[in-house]
């Protein structure tokens, strides 16, 4: 049933994205897409990304009709709350949306709005592609070896938010339950101690791993690596590994093999059209990102591991300023950059909008607009390769032309128009 959005304007033109009986998107050439600018530097990068996305759509024969929605600071001004139902309902009903960063206070204040959106909409897969753009300065010698996609479970693990504050009555009750009723005497230190629970479920794990394997098969990737700390956490992270292998073994037949099978039966050669599922301990995986970068395609991880790994991977290709991401549910996509709101730079027209532009690229790929998506990436790469960059990259390059956020966007647009004509 259509939601009444009150004073939020639904575009008079354009059409909704729908889903057919098989769960496939029905995408019009002029879709209505909600956009949330976000907090801090969101007010700078979101208009810049919107400009680039509009141009890519137009050059490929389409038009996006944007529906402005609100969260964080802008929602408090308009609704006197951080995450209004108008925003949640708009993303749910229009199915595909994009947002800038929103502020998450450390240690106090309201709960993360990003996490709240993911849970309310059951956006269970946080997908973060990490790849190198020619010309981006990098701290490693061969950044082009990085071409990896992290599938990070988005609703469980420590991000489920189940914790109790040190000194509270709740902590006393939890300690008593664990030590007295569960029999783990002395397991929790005396004195002030905060306690948290990290749930990892079979259901949540399997649908995340299933999505990662499907992506690998659809995009001709050879490996899906389950990353966990199962040597220590036997019933959560080791279970994540075991449930992941169950999906591979029980649902994919000969399309998916394990690493053992690869070496015992295939002599290390991956058969065409086949995906190899293996697993790595999280701390080992962090160092293999550097030492064996080109051996990894797709990572499937619990929430916290995925956060660490995707940021570390992003550092190898230039940092979070160029790190895109998106959240996926059943027939839903909410694109967003990996970086935060960086409030000290807000309104300065300074920061790099590439991450949000490339997040829009993921959104366009979800719509099936691969030509527009490729145009976005190619034009950004050509612009950076010509050393026309924002301050974060300019400080590491000789003879670079330092551009503002909006100037960089306009340069990408002009490059895109030239590339489109060619």
- Domains of the chain are 1-138+317-422 (3.40.718.10)
Angle of CA points 303, 301, 290, to nearest 5°? 110
Percent of the chain with pLDDT over 90: 82
Mean pLDDT for the stretch of residues 35-43: 94
- Which residues fall within 8 angstroms of residue 44, CB to CB, at 6 or more apart? 345, 346, 347, 348, 349, 350, 351, 353, 405, 406
Residue 249 tokens read as 């073994």
Residue 201 tokens read as 């479920």
pLDDT of residue 111: 63
The 10s digit of each residue's pLDDT in 336-365 is 999 988 889 999 999 999 999 999 999 999
Annotated catalytic residue within 297, 307, 382, 392: 307
Measure the CA–CA gap between 285 and 150, rounded to whole angstroms.
12
User: Does residue 229 have an active-site annotation?
Assistant: yes
User: Does residue 159 have an active-site annotation?
Assistant: yes
Annotated catalytic residue within 79, 124, 131, 159: 159
pLDDT of residue 272: 93
pLDDT bin (cut points 50, 70, 90) of residue 108 is very low
Specify the pTM: 0.93
Q: Is 131 annotated as a binding residue?
A: no
Q: Is 132 annotated as a binding residue?
A: no
Mean pLDDT for the stretch of residues 254-273: 93
| Average of per-residue pLDDT values in the chain | 93
Q: Is 103 annotated as a binding residue?
A: yes
pLDDT of residue 86: 93
pLDDT of residue 57: 98
Residue 261 tokens read as 């099978």
pLDDT surpasses 80 at 268: yes
User: Does residue 169 have an active-site annotation?
Assistant: no
pLDDT of residue 420: 62
- Which residues fall within 8 angstroms of residue 361, CB to CB, at 6 or more apart? 324, 373, 376, 377
Percent of the chain with pLDDT over 70: 96
* CB burial of residue 387 (10 Å; 0-12, 13-18, 19+): middle
Q: How many helices (H) and strands (E) does the chain have?
A: 14, 17
Q: Is 280 annotated as a binding residue?
A: no
Annotated catalytic residue within 119, 229, 350, 388: 229
Annotated catalytic residue within 147, 214, 283, 378: 283
User: Does residue 215 have an active-site annotation?
Assistant: no
Q: Is 343 annotated as a binding residue?
A: yes
pLDDT of residue 104: 62
Q: Is 344 annotated as a binding residue?
A: yes
The 10s digit of each residue's pLDDT in 360-405 is 999 999 999 999 999 999 999 999 999 999 999 999 999 999 999 9
pLDDT surpasses 60 at 106: no
Please give the backbone phi and psi of residue 298, each rounded to the nearest 5 degrees, phi first: -125, 130
pLDDT surpasses 60 at 173: yes
The residue among 408, 393, 412, 337 whose CA lies nearest residue 41 is 337
Mean pLDDT for the stretch of residues 119-138: 96
pLDDT of residue 103: 80
Q: Is 339 annotated as a binding residue?
A: yes
């Amino acid at each position: 049933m259509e939601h009444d959005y009150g004073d939020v304007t639904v575009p008079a033109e354009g059409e909704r994205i729908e889903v057919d009986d098989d769960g496939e998107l029905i995408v019009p050439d002029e879709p209505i897409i909600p956009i949330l600018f976000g907090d801090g530097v969101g007010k700078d990068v979101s208009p810049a990304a919107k400009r680039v996305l509009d141009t890519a759509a137009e050059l490929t024969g389409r038009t996006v009709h944007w529906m402005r929605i609100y969260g964080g600071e802008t929602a408090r001004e308009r609704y006197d709350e951080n995450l209004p139902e108008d925003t949640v309902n708009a993303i749910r009903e229009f199915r595909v949306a994009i947002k800038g960063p929103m502020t998450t206070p450390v240690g106090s204040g309201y709960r993360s709005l990003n996490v709240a959106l993911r849970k309310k909409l059951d956006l269970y897969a946080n997908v973060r592609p990490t790849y190198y753009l020619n010309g981006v300065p990098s701290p490693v010698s061969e950044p082009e070896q990085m071409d990896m996609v992290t599938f990070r479970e988005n609703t469980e693990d420590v991000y489920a938010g189940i914790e109790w504050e040190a000194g509270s009555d709740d902590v006393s009750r939890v300690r008593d339950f664990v030590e007295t009723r569960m029999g783990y005497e002395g397991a929790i230190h005396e004195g002030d101690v905060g306690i948290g629970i990290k749930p990892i479920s079979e259901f949540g794990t399997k649908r995340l791993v299933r999505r990662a394997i499907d992506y690998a098969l659809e995009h001709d990737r050879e490996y899906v690596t389950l990353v966990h700390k199962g040597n220590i956490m036997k019933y959560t992270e080791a279970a994540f590994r075991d449930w992941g292998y169950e999906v591979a073994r029980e649902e994919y037949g000969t399309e998916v093999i394990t690493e053992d099978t690869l070496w015992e039966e295939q002599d290390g050669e991956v058969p065409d059209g086949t995906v190899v599922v293996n697993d790595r301990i999280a701390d080992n995986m962090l160092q293999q990102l550097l030492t064996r970068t080109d051996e990894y395609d797709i990572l499937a991880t619990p929430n916290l591991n995925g956060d660490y790994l995707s940021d570390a991977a992003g550092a190898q290709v230039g940092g979070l300023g160029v790190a895109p991401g998106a959240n996926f549910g059943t027939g839903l996509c909410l694109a967003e950059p990996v970086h935060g709101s960086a409030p000290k730079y807000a309104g300065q027209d300074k920061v790099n909008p590439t991450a949000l532009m490339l997040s829009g690229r993921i959104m366009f790929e979800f719509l099936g607009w691969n030509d527009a998506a490729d145009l976005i990436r190619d034009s950004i790469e050509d612009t950076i390769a010509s050393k026309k960059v924002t301050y974060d990259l300019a400080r590491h390059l000789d003879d670079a032309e330092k551009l503002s956020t909006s100037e960089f966007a306009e340069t990408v647009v002009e490059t895109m128009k030239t590339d489109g004509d060619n």
